[in-house]
Amino acid sequence: MNISIKFASALAVTHNLPELSLEFQSDEVAFIELLKYFELNYQLVYNKICTSQFHIHPYIICVLNQKIITNKDIETEKLKNGDTVTFSVAIAGGVN
C-alpha cells in the first residue's frame, strides 16, 4: 500500500519538511500507525506534528483525502492505497 504525505504552508517552508511517499505492507492500516512510523523513522516530522502519545498538536490540521482527522479519529480511521495525508498549520483561531 502506498500513501502520499504532504506538508502545507509553514510546515513545508519554515521547517523544510519534504513530501513523502510511504509504503506499508498491509492493504490498510490505522491512522495511528502512520504517527508511530513517523516517531520511529522521521523524528523531526513527528516532533512538529505530534504531542506525546501520538496525539496531533492542537495547532496542526491533518487532512486525509479532504476529511479532517482529529485525535479521536487516529485509532479508528484507516489508510488505504493511494490515500493522501496533508499536514498544515492552523492559520485562524477558534473557540475552546
Domain ranges of the chain: 2-89
For the stretch 29-47, what's the b/e string if a residue is b when 16 or more beta carbons lie within 10 angstroms of its beta carbon? bbbbbbbebbeeebeebbe
2-89 is a CATH 3.10.20.30 domain: yes
pTM: 0.85
| Helix residue ranges, H only, the chain | 9-14, 31-41, 43-49
pLDDT tens digits for range 20-66: 899 989 889 999 999 999 999 888 888 889 987 889 999 899 999 99
